[in-house]
Amino acid sequence: MKPESGAEQDGGRAGTGQLDLFGSQGDRHRYDSVEHVAGEMERCLKCGLCRSVCPVFAEVLDESGCARGKIALIEALYEDNLTLSRIFSDRLSKCLDCKSCMEVCPSGIKVDELVLAARAEIFKRGKFPFLKKLVFRHLLKRGNLLPPVGKFAAFVERKILRGLPPSSPYRMLLPLVKIDKDRTLPVFAERTLMDDFGEIISPKGKPRMRVGFFIGCSTNLMYTDIGKAVIRVLLGEGIEVVIPREQGCCGVPVYTSGDRRTGTELALKNIKAFEKYKLDAIVTACAACGAALKRDYGTILGFRENALGTRVYDLNEFLVEFSDLDFDTGRRNPVNVTYHDPCHLSRAQGITEAPRRVLDAIPNVTFTEMEEAERCCGGGGMFSFSHYDIAKEIGKKKVSYIAATGADVVATSCPSCMMQLKDMLNRNGLPQQVVHIVQLLASCYPRLD
């Protein structure tokens, strides 16, 4: 369960004062991150199909915004025809990792691995914000610090920010930390999900399965109602739920930004947290976390034996396979619901039918498909914070499709998408409520005691 020899480890290769990405001529092998995926660049046909589906390119209309442009930049670095610069770093940061380009690429290029390899080089060469590095290597890595920080944030939000008028000078400070003062942000919970539940939660009667629940940071700290709904559904299905206390951040915000060393440490921590329990499966209600546990730990972080991957299920996928989803078919106070496909569920995991089957099984739901349901909403985790102007424009298209359905509710399967959709709907004056599918489904099961 050790990383492959090519899994990136930071460290003292940057040399002396002057920045030189590939060192002296011909000394490229010292840049392992790009070297290990260099073959992907050679397969690019330069056809430009990626331009037709890239949500970033549609807004910036710059070649570097699409996969073909980014591959050309990385190739120029690899051939020593370009030096690493702040501009290069900025261009490589403008990628949502939505994988739309990979879906249409006739050569099947692993664009995500190429871009993340280049970001890893940027990180290793020190071209990375100090504050982000501090958060990654101290706050996220030491997961026990997150709950108290979240509780402090909850206190600030509830007791201070909510009472301030929009014109307050204190609200004007938000842009200083790169947060739009008019942005709709989630509220941190006063109690984390782990505060409210023990490590092992048993259903009434003999359990028919024992399942680990990978909760993720957002569900534990902010969207605790999602976690409670997951537990309610699993217990209602006669399943024993295990929430290992040692689990932490899945690592997606870390290694997709380039810090593979910390990402590898977080992955190993999670693998060890679940390994010590005898489990029939591991479920998660976060698309990004699911993609990390299933795929990224092996492909990006290099674990030869991913002890989690083959047993990890998105909750929708798990229920379709292990539950009959047979509820009272009478429609009670029907609500019109549309569904947004998270990129890390639809393209990264290939799961599109299961969420719709779950929605169709809920008695009071009338489902209306939206146009381009699989189109990225513009969230992309950290992307919407570092490139909010682009994220807003991408989100504007998504909410127009939502509005066209006439739905009362837009459901999805990713907390990050929920955050973006809520903000975009509010910014555009639209009334739709945003929920996770499991929050709708939970009404079909007994309440938690």
Question: 8-17, 92-101, 149-158 — which is least confidently predicted?
Answer: 8-17
User: Does 404 or 178 have the greater pLDDT score?
Assistant: 404
Task: Annotate 169-188 with b (16+ C-beta within 10 A) or e (fewer).
Answer: eeeeeeeeeeeeeebeeeeb
Which of 36-45, 81-90, 280-289 tops mean pLDDT? 280-289
- Which pLDDT value is given to residue 331? 59
Q: What is the mean pLDDT of residues 251-271?
A: 89
Confidence of residue 6 (pLDDT cuts 50, 70, 90): very low
pTM: 0.85
The token pair at 342 is: 């998270």
Does residue 131 carry a pLDDT above 90?
A: no
- Which pLDDT value is given to residue 1? 52
Confidence of residue 15 (pLDDT cuts 50, 70, 90): very low
- Which pLDDT value is given to residue 334? 85
Does residue 20 carry a pLDDT above 70?
A: no
- Which pLDDT value is given to residue 160? 52
- Which pLDDT value is given to residue 80? 82
The token pair at 277 is: 């329990």
Confidence of residue 117 (pLDDT cuts 50, 70, 90): very high
Phi, psi dihedral angles at 336 (to 5 degrees)? -85, 120
Does residue 254 carry a pLDDT above 60?
A: yes
Does residue 442 carry a pLDDT above 90?
A: yes
- Which pLDDT value is given to residue 138? 53
All domains of the chain in start order, with CATH: 28-128 (1.10.1060), 131-177 (no CATH), 193-322 (3.40.50.1860), 335-444 (3.40.50)
Q: What is the mean pLDDT of residues 417-425?
A: 96
**Are residues 140 and 67 in contact, defined by beta-carbon separation less than 8 angstroms?**
no
- How many Å is the Cα radius of gyration of the chain? 22
- Which pLDDT value is given to residue 36? 82
Does residue 137 carry a pLDDT above 70?
A: no
- Which pLDDT value is given to residue 173? 46
- Which pLDDT value is given to residue 446? 92
Q: Could you tell me what percent of the chain has a pLDDT over 70?
A: 78
Under the phi-then-psi rule, with left for phi > 0, alpha for psi from -120 to 50, and beta for the rest, what region is 150? alpha
Question: 15-29, 309-323, 351-365 — which is least confidently predicted?
Answer: 15-29
Does residue 22 carry a pLDDT above 60?
A: no
**Are residues 224 and 192 in contact, defined by beta-carbon separation less than 8 angstroms?**
yes
The token pair at 35 is: 């070297």
Phi, psi dihedral angles at 35 (to 5 degrees)? -55, -40
Residues 310-337 have pLDDT tens digits of: 689 999 999 999 999 988 766 567 899 9
Q: What is the mean pLDDT of residues 91-109?
A: 96
- Which pLDDT value is given to residue 29? 42
Confidence of residue 13 (pLDDT cuts 50, 70, 90): very low
- Which pLDDT value is given to residue 38? 87
Which of 141-155, 301-315, 386-400 tops mean pLDDT? 386-400
- Which pLDDT value is given to residue 123? 84
